Amino acid sequence: MNQPFKWTDDNFKKALELSKTSMSMSEIGRELGTTKNAVLGKIHREKLKNGYKLKKLQKTRGASHYYYFKKIGRGKCNLCQKQFDIHSKFDRFCMTCKKTDMYVGS
């Protein structure tokens, strides 16, 4: 019967060395006799314990919608009739009108 995997200093050093090569985490896990998630979790916990700063996600200003969708044209708002930038073919209202109670349906 398979015994549960136990992290030792040697296993961890080997995982770090292999991670610097072109091996994937799945391959490293197979090499050590564990899973890729176990390898990823161990490396992550050791980095946190040793004071490494993890890369933070970059925050965008405004709605995340504009981060993913680029401007594709200009259109007229269906509520206030002002011109606004369209970022999706489904945009019908400007940001000012989207923040009103009338748009939300309250």
C-beta separation of 54 from 48 below 8 A: yes
pLDDT per residue as tens digits for the range 56-84: 444 444 555 555 667 888 999 988 999 99
Amino acid identity of residue 37, one-letter, is N
Query: Count of alpha carbons within 13 Å of 32, Cβ hemisphere only?
Result: 31
| 19, 28 contact by CB (below 8 A) | yes
Q: Which domain holds residue 94?
A: 65-104
The pLDDT, as a whole number, for residue 92 is: 87
CA distance 15 to 32: 8
Residue 58 forms part of a structural domain: no
Which residues of the chain carry a pLDDT beneath 50?
Answer: 1, 56-61, 106
15 falls within a domain: yes
For residue 54, tell me if it sits in a domain. no
Residue 56, domain member (yes or no) = no
Q: Would you state the pLDDT for residue 68?
A: 61
What pLDDT sits at residue 74? 92
Phi and psi at residue 59, in whole multiples of 5°? -90, 145
Are residues 43 and 18 located together in one domain of the fold? yes
Residue 44: CA count within 13 A, CB half-sphere: 8
Amino acid at 98: K
Sole residue written with tokens 């700063």: 53
22 belongs to a structural domain: yes
Residue 90 domain-assigned (yes or no): yes
In a domain, 3, yes or no: no
Same-domain check for residues 40 and 69: no
Residue 93 is assigned to a structural domain of this protein: yes
Please tell me the total count of domains within the chain: 2
| pTM score, whole prediction | 0.46
